[in-house]
Amino acid sequence: MIKFKFHLLLFIVIFTTNAIQSDVIQCEFEFINYFQLNKEFYMCKVSNIQIFNHGAKISIENAIGQNLENKKNEQVEGTNFSNAPNLNLIPTNLERIFPNIILIFINNSNLTQITSDDFKPFPKLKAIYILFNSIEFLCKDFFIHNRELEAISFWENKIRHIEPSTFKNLSSLRILDLRGNVCNFPDWVDDRNAVVNSIRKIEHGECLSEICSINNLIAETLARDRLMEQLKKKINK
């Protein structure tokens, strides 16, 4: 009986630790001009950054704060998460509160990973700025759901691997900033031709880390082994 109680308690602790937390964000609504895009955006700047817990995925259930005159949540174009040291995963559910987001800005936080699912709810996304965070790998086609992207910045992260297909099919991309990473591109580019040249370098494997390359090789080897086993079974039938 004591052993059963211990296992039950352990299950509860693990379940609670991994559960998605829900919370409310406090917005300071403002207009911000992003000179690179030559556009002014109506933004929600999140002020209650203390809600983020290290390692926990946050689901945003509501946003509070006074919209500017003649504005409402449906007109919010971007979110700004800045100076949140415990934010290491992109919050979910934002699209239900701000359905027309076209800009995501996360600055000086501790974002450690992103996936294509993080951006999937925002098919009209024009710009992603993830500055001064801790992203290390762009190992997949993260932007497969965001074909209208015009600007991407990962300035000052820890990126050491970029998959060759990461920026594939982003025909509108005209700003790409990868400065200050382990895999370093020294200049930010704001010209479509320069962006294309940078993408070509990435496609040719300029930013492949040994760790990811080895992992890819292992995965390919295992896939070939599985295929050979399937062929052998068919032959032996």
Q: What CATH code is carried by the domain that includes residue 68? A: 3.80.10
Domain assignment present for residue 1? The answer is no
Domain assignment present for residue 90? The answer is yes
pLDDT tens per residue, range 21-42 = 778 999 999 999 986 788 899 9
Q: Could you give the number of structural domains in the chain?
A: 1
Domain assignment present for residue 157? The answer is yes
The domain of 175 spans: 19-236
Reference 146, options 186, 75, 95; nearest CA is 95
pLDDT tens per residue, range 127-153 = 999 999 999 999 778 899 999 999 999
Amino acid at 101: I
Question: What pLDDT, on a 0 to 100 scale, did the predictor assign at position 121?
Answer: 97
Domain assignment present for residue 59? The answer is yes
- pTM score of the predicted model: 0.78
CA–CA gap between residue 165 and residue 160 (Å, rounded) = 15
Long-range Cβ contacts of 94-99 (<8 Å, 24+ apart): 94/60, 94/121, 95/121, 95/122, 97/60, 97/62, 97/63, 97/73, 98/44, 98/63, 98/73, 98/74, 99/74
Place of tokens 């992109």: 90
Domain assignment present for residue 124? The answer is yes
Domain assignment present for residue 6? The answer is no
The CA-to-CA distance between both ends of the chain, in Å, stands at: 51
Residues 6+ apart with CB under 8 A from 32: 40, 41, 43, 78, 80
Low-confidence ranges of the chain (pLDDT < 50): 1-18, 213-219
Domain assignment present for residue 5? The answer is no
Domain assignment present for residue 31? The answer is yes
